Amino acid sequence: MIVFPSFVTVSVPSDITLDGDSSIILRIPRKASPESVTAALTHYGKRIRRIDTLADALFDFDADRGVLPTELLSIIEAGLGVDRSRALLIRAGTQSIAALAEFAATYSFPTGSWELRESDSERMRRMLTALGGVRAKVRVAAGPSEDAAASDGDAVLAAADFYLHDPFLATPVEPFHGILGVLARGGKADLHVFQDERRGMNYFVSGNGLISDAARSLQTPLGCIGDGWDAISGHVSNSPGFDAVTFMALRSECAFCPHFRFCVGYFREYDQDRDCSSWRRAFDLVARETNRGAKDLEDGN
Ligand code: SF4
């Protein structure tokens, strides 16, 4: 059984038990039983840095009657307590916007946030407005859309535009908030950091015990939980790189992309053909607004 060292953070489903000192991002699977979540919370205790869950796992979802929080939610709430160093991330799916907003307003976890996947731009705007209205923190997932058919290609741009221009914005929308910080103040954070995929620092364990260094790459695992740390960590340098030299060698578009500094080829790392144009349009907007802000400061406006 692998024992991860204390300097790494491992995302693990609540029905798999890991020993060791690593920080834990505990994932609650869709069909998790309250008993298994209670056992995981007890086992990992203070090691838990965040709990990730699908909204579907928390809702007794009935479109006509709205949100019915389950026993699971109470268990998670009790497990997190009021410790501000720990957070809850809820991955929204296809729930109604009214249901999401009601849920967010009812359960204001001290450090809770929402992850939204690409959808159509109108739904994205309405979700951001609803969650912003209850001061919920939001991040737009950079992973592939689960429902590509529902995406109109402009949802990411709509989210960036909302973050930059909506007069009622109350809390950050990631990753645009982080990218704006990188552009305005410098620093080395990139999309891998915002997505908890720091190479050699973040690991993901799948439901069948395979280990990868990105949630997107579980089909090319580094090993499994039966392996030792040395076996896993030794594979990191062999996994797909995302430095400029690698992309230059591959003659990838990434090497010449103006957003490489904070994207670092994130979208094409595991799929050279992935279309990242919707994200590039959003990055263009953030970069343009940062430049405009800097110029206004110079001009004393
Ligand atoms: S935005 Fe696309 S082209 Fe640019 S660095 Fe990222 S993945 Fe590469």
pLDDT in tens, 11-26: 999 999 999 999 999 9
Minimum mean pLDDT range among 125-129, 162-166, 225-229, 296-300? 296-300
Among candidates 222, 33, 219, 216, which has minimal Cα distance to 142?
Answer: 216
Other C-beta atoms closer than 10 Å to the C-beta of 22 total 22
Cα of 275 from ligand 1 centre, angstroms: 9
Which tens digit of pLDDT belongs to each residue from 199-216? 889 999 999 999 988 877
pLDDT at 250: 61
CA–CA dist 293, 242 (Å, integer): 30
Q: Which residue has better confidence, 40 or 246?
A: 40
Residue nearest to atom 6 of ligand 1 (CA): 265
pLDDT at 48: 93
Kindly state the helix (H) or strand (E) to which residue 125 belongs, with its residue range. helix 121-133
- Residue 249 pLDDT greater than 70, yes or no: no
- Residue 238 pLDDT greater than 60, yes or no: no
Cα of 37 from ligand 1 centre, angstroms: 38
Name the residue of 256, 267, 274, 281 to mutate for ligand 1: max ligand atoms within 8 A of Cβ: 267
Phi, psi dihedrals of residue 71, rounded to the nearest 5°: -55, -35
Mean pLDDT value of segment 104-118: 75
The residues lining ligand 1, judged by C-beta closer than 6 Å to any ligand atom, are 253-254, 257, 259-260, 263, 265-268, 276, 279-280
Q: Percent of the chain, pLDDT > 70?
A: 82
Which tens digit of pLDDT belongs to each residue from 123-157? 899 889 888 877 788 899 887 655 555 566 789 99
pTM equals: 0.85
Ligand 1 nearest-atom number relative to CA 266: 7
| β-strand partners of 10 | 24, 203
Other C-beta atoms closer than 10 Å to the C-beta of 180 total 20
